[in-house]
């Protein structure tokens, strides 16, 4: 389906992304996350100032345990959602689909009681309510001065092709890329159902913040059959983008037009296959893994200077569990 949409001015926008890492050492694990919000290309008419901070990052030293990866990823996602809620922009672009946070948060809450790190559990518990509050606002989409949109990079979904009865060689994004002309879009149409969607709330988290169970129910209701998807090809040299929006946005031509106008304005370079703020946020936050050896070295050196025994014990304990020290 194609139709004319309206957007009065070029909207301001930002992109949200995150990264996490678990560095497995001989004696302990180092778990880190980073969540980042990056402002897009600013329209000439924009005069507002976006105050800092626009990023969050933290490193935890934890005992060896398989729950650490799920916990640190959930903490990353809760911080991303909170940054998105606090961003003072007309359009906030998320680097994933609207349902993805449910998976990450549920994996974290399901492992909450298993984590041996009190510090990591406390950090997640402290941020979980804020993240879930933001998630409820994002999925409701009723805030009039802000539009949230999920733009996953990679998608194999075939909701559209199945509706059209087409063979399975192509996914929806590939099909849309080849049939749409620049400036055209398909949709919006309801996202496919997700029957097993759930978000576990442990008793300890519910006791700390009683509102989280109600927020959880609101999120699941918003996502159930009330989220929509469209495919938009902003320029000839770009593929079609999968854009997921709440129903309140999909049913409003002006708000939907605001999203597409923002995406078009942020796709000015042929060499970047995604909106500029998402591209820049991804490039910046993914440097976490590259910077981690420096963090580990600084920690190791600090420990060695305070150790009264054989410093070789420190360097051995802080060595990677793999012989080559890599991944």
Count CB-CB contacts under 10 A for residue 306: 8
Taking alpha carbons only, the member of 17, 28, 27, 31 closest to residue 292 is: 31
Please provide the DSSP assignment of 143-212 as one string: -TT-EEEE--S-----HHHHHTT--TTS-HHHHHHHHPPTTEEEEEEEPPP-TT------HHHHHH-TTH
Decide the pairing of beta strands 13-24 and 91-94. parallel
Asked if residue 103 has pLDDT above 90, the reply is yes
Q: Does residue 176 contact residue 164 with C-beta atoms inside 8 Å?
A: no
Higher-pLDDT residue of 71 and 314 is: 71
Most confident of 32-41, 189-198, 312-321: 32-41
Q: Does residue 59 contact residue 313 with C-beta atoms inside 8 Å?
A: no
Q: Does residue 118 contact residue 168 with C-beta atoms inside 8 Å?
A: no
pLDDT score of 5 = 61
The secondary structure element, H or E, covering residue 131 is helix 118-140
- Asked if residue 140 is part of any domain, the answer here is yes
| Measured CA angle at 289 (ends 287, 292), to 5 deg | 110
Share of the chain above pLDDT 90, in %: 54
Query: How many domains does the chain divide into?
Result: 1
Strands (E) located in the chain: 13-24, 29-39, 55-62, 91-94, 147-150, 184-190, 227-233, 241-246
Q: Does residue 110 contact residue 21 with C-beta atoms inside 8 Å?
A: no
First to last CA, the chain: 46
- Asked if residue 114 is part of any domain, the answer here is yes
**Structural domain for 227, as ranges:** 13-286
Rounded Cα distance, 281 and 109, in Å: 26
pLDDT score of 6 = 56
Rounded Cα distance, 31 and 324, in Å: 20
Radius of gyration in angstroms for the set of CA atoms belonging to the chain, rounded to a whole number:
22
Please provide the DSSP assignment of 173-189 as one string: HHHHHHHPPTTEEEEEE
Bond into 188 cis (ω within 30): yes
- Asked if residue 164 is part of any domain, the answer here is yes
Please write the tens of the pLDDT for every residue from 106-156. 999 999 999 999 999 999 999 999 999 999 999 999 988 899 999 998 877
Q: Does residue 241 contact residue 232 with C-beta atoms inside 8 Å?
A: yes
Please write the tens of the pLDDT for every residue from 192-217. 777 678 899 999 999 988 999 999 99
Bond into 53 cis (ω within 30): yes
Query: pTM of the predicted model, to two decimals?
Result: 0.90
Asked if residue 324 has pLDDT above 70, the reply is no
Rounded Cα distance, 275 and 152, in Å: 11
- Asked if residue 326 is part of any domain, the answer here is no
For the segment 258-266, the average pLDDT, to the nearest whole number, is 94
Rounded Cα distance, 99 and 110, in Å: 17
For the segment 305-316, the average pLDDT, to the nearest whole number, is 82
Angle, in degrees to the nearest 10, between helices 68-86 and 100-110: 130
Rounded Cα distance, 57 and 80, in Å: 11
Asked if residue 18 has pLDDT above 50, the reply is yes
């Amino acid at each position: 389906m194609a139709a004319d949409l309206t957007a009065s001015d070029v909207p301001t926008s930002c992109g949200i992304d995150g990264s996490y890492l678990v560095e497995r050492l001989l004696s302990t694990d180092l778990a880190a996350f980073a969540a980042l919000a990056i402002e897009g290309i600013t329209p000439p008419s924009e005069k507002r100032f976006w105050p800092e901070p626009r990023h969050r990052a933290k490193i935890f030293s934890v005992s060896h345990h398989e729950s650490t990866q799920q916990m640190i990823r959930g903490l990353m996602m809760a911080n991303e959602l909170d940054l998105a809620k606090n961003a003072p922009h007309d359009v906030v672009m998320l680097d994933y689909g609207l349902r993805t946070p449910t998976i990450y948060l549920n994996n974290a809450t399901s492992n909450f009681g298993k984590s041996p790190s009190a510090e990591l559990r406390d950090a997640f518990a402290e941020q979980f309510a804020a993240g879930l509050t933001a998630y409820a606002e994002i999925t409701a989409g009723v805030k009039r001065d802000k539009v949230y949109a999920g733009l996953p990079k990679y998608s194999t979904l075939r909701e559209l092709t199945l509706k059209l009865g087409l063979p399975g060689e192509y996914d929806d994004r590939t099909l849309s890329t080849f049939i749409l002309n620049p400036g055209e879009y398909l949709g919006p149409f309801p996202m496919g159902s997700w029957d097993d969607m759930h978000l576990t709330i442990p008793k300890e988290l519910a006791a700390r913040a009683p509102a989280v169970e109600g927020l959880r129910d609101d999120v699941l209701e918003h996502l159930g059959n009330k989220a929509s998807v469209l495919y938009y090809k902003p320029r000839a040299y770009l593929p079609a983008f999968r854009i997921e929006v709440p129903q309140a946005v999909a049913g409003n031509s002006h708000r939907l037009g605001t999203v597409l106008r923002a995406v078009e304005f942020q796709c000015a370079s042929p060499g970047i296959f995604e909106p500029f703020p998402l591209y820049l946020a991804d490039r910046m936050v993914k440097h976490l893994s590259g910077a981690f050896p420096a963090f580990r070295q600084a920690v190791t050196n600090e420990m060695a200077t305070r150790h009264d025994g054989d410093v070789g014990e420190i360097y051995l304990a802080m060595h990677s569990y793999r012989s080559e020290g890599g991944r």
